[in-house]
Structure 1
Amino acid sequence: MLKLLPCLAVDTPDVFSLQSFPTGQRALSQSLLNCDLHESNQKFEVLGPTRAIVAVAGDDIILPCYIKPNISVEDMRVDWFRVNLPDTQSNIRVHLYQDGRDKYHDQILSYRGRTSLFKEELKKGNTSLKLTRVQGTDDGRYKCLVESKTHYDDSTIQVYVRAIGSKPEVSIEGQKEGGMALLCVTKGWFPEPELEWLDSEGVTLSAGPSETDRDYEGFYVVKLKTIIKETDINRFTCRLRQRQQHEVIKMETEFHIPSELILVHTETWKVALAVIVSLVIVLVAISAFSVWWWKSLYNDYSHRKLIKGFILLNVNVLQCSLQ
């Protein structure tokens, strides 16, 4: 009795007849055909990591994904895509393998040239994705979907991106609202950090809402302004905090302003205000004088016209009397 062999990868002609083989070879060929058919119709389960993946910006990472049982997926469809993206983004594809090759026609632009599968591992059911040069826009949830002609399954993977950006930079923006405006800027962070201003005693200073933006790689740029008055020390601090999963990152930049500089800015502001007020007064005076002058000219012209008319009237009356 001939025992059927497990599925093997062998080269067979595209077209052949089982009747052309001897009995033993015919049974072996029939077994291989049954195995191939069974493999293509076999149900499978897509598995991924049970925990989220934490990726450091700039590193290369692997998003694990494989099918069980470990059958070949070379003739299947492997689709990696993002989930829970904003409604404004219609394209969600990260990487697509179909018909035995990679397809990039509808890949999200930020992933272009950064994704790949392990081609030699596809025959073992390994559909893991390699993602190079991690950036802020990579943060989020991914799905690994594997589809055969008769079955499909998927697994969801969460990726958290972490990026340590620049130390806060402080600069003077000039005089505003009777004080001096200070600006604190930090770049290259993920997730978004928080900024706050402190005085020399560690008391939080009032400040407007922070301005938040993201660069082309998805990293955060945060700005925070405050208006300060002259104090005994004139020492101020911009503090940064970034909350991560299990820790809080802190950075501080201390900034000292000489009293002379504050006085210079204050005096400059006062002088500028005085000049503006003086100009307004001069303009008002010139306008008033112009109106008075034009009125005088008009009144003088009207008076002369009236006298001329009166003289002409008297001349006409005199001529009539003489006649």
Structure 2
Amino acid sequence: MRVDWFRVNLPDPQSNIRVHLYQDGRDKYHDQIRSYEGRTSLFKEELKKGNTSLKLTRVQGTDDGQYKCLVESKTHYDDATIQVHIRALGSKPELSIEGQKEGGMGLLCVSKGGFPEPELEWLDSEGVTLSAGPSETDRDYKGFYIVKLKTIVKETDTNHFTCRLRQRQLSEQINMETEFHISSELILVHTDTWRVAFAVIVSLSIVLVVILAFTIWGWNRLSNDYGNRKRIKEFI
């Protein structure tokens, strides 16, 4: 009896597609997709009953997709294709301050481990969506998503902000929120620091311009004196 499980429609058509092979009474792993190593098995006691189901452990985001099973014996052949949907809830949003940005204070929201890709949203204290750039999306080595969303805020009456995660889980949507409060003193410290830095840069620029102008003036004066002395010598 032969039971052969493999992936269908992988992004790389040249890659190995076998997930699990059972043949001649034993499992064979010589050409198994590397990411499935040590994670696949069959229900051996059920094979005689016609159950050729595949068991996946330590599920990963990369397991999402189509699978095909071929069953073959001396008297029987059959195949079936199924779609596997992986669902993993991302971590609760983690918030941090990025520091002073043009237009206000930069805030960062991060969620890790979700699948499929979750959505992040910044809200003010009244639940109004804040302006933010596009999400930055990456995937870890297991295929789970790492999503980041940045926004820039100004001081408000409450300085209270929220990052909300929306995660689609089959027929329902799950929301998770993390609230964040920034003290006015912190915003002022960052603002004053930025202003001081700007003032220092402007002051240094003015000093450099003055030094450069004085240097050019001195150079021109020396050149003129040298030219005058040369003409006097030629006249004598």
Common topology (TM > 0.5): yes
RMSD: 1.9
Is this contact kept in 1: 2:125–2:158, CA < 8 A?
A: yes
- Counterpart residue number, 2:145: 220
Residues of 2 paired with 1:81 and 1:163: CA distance? 23
- Counterpart residue number, 2:97: 172
- Counterpart residue number, 1:190: 115
Residue type of the partner of 1:179? Answer: G
Alignment pair present for 1:285 and 2:210: yes
- Give the SS at the match of 2:58: coil
Q: Which has the higher strand share?
A: 2
Residue type of the partner of 1:165? Answer: G
Alignment pair present for 1:116 and 2:22: no
> 1:145 Cα shift?
1.1
Unaligned runs of 5+ in 1: 1-72, 312-323
Structural mapping, 1:67-82, within 5 Å: 73=1, 77-82=2-7
Structural mapping, 1:15-54, within 5 Å: none
- TM-score for both structures, normalised by structure 2: 0.92
- Counterpart residue number, 1:90: 15
Is this contact kept in 1: 2:87–2:170, CA < 8 A?
A: no
Residue type of the partner of 1:284? Answer: V
CA offsets, 1:26-67, max 9 Å, x none? xxxxxxxxxxxxxxxxxxxxxxxxxxxxxxxxxxxxxxxxxx
2:193 to 263, 268, 274: 268
Residue type of the partner of 1:82? Answer: R
1:247 to 166, 172, 184: 172
Is this contact kept in 2: 1:170–1:253, CA < 8 A?
A: yes
- Give the SS at the match of 1:157: strand
Is this contact kept in 1: 2:89–2:114, CA < 8 A?
A: yes
Is this contact kept in 1: 2:135–2:149, CA < 8 A?
A: yes
* Number of equivalent positions: 236
Rate the CA distance shift 1:310–1:150 in 2: closer, same or farther, 3 A: farther
Rate the CA distance shift 1:136–1:305 in 2: closer, same or farther, 3 A: same
Is this contact kept in 1: 2:39–2:57, CA < 8 A?
A: yes
> 1:91 Cα shift?
2.2
> 1:148 Cα shift?
4.6
- Counterpart residue number, 2:231: 306
Structural mapping, 1:120-139, within 5 Å: 120-139=45-64
Is this contact kept in 2: 1:199–1:236, CA < 8 A?
A: yes
- TM-score for both structures, normalised by structure 1: 0.69
- Give the SS at the match of 2:30: coil
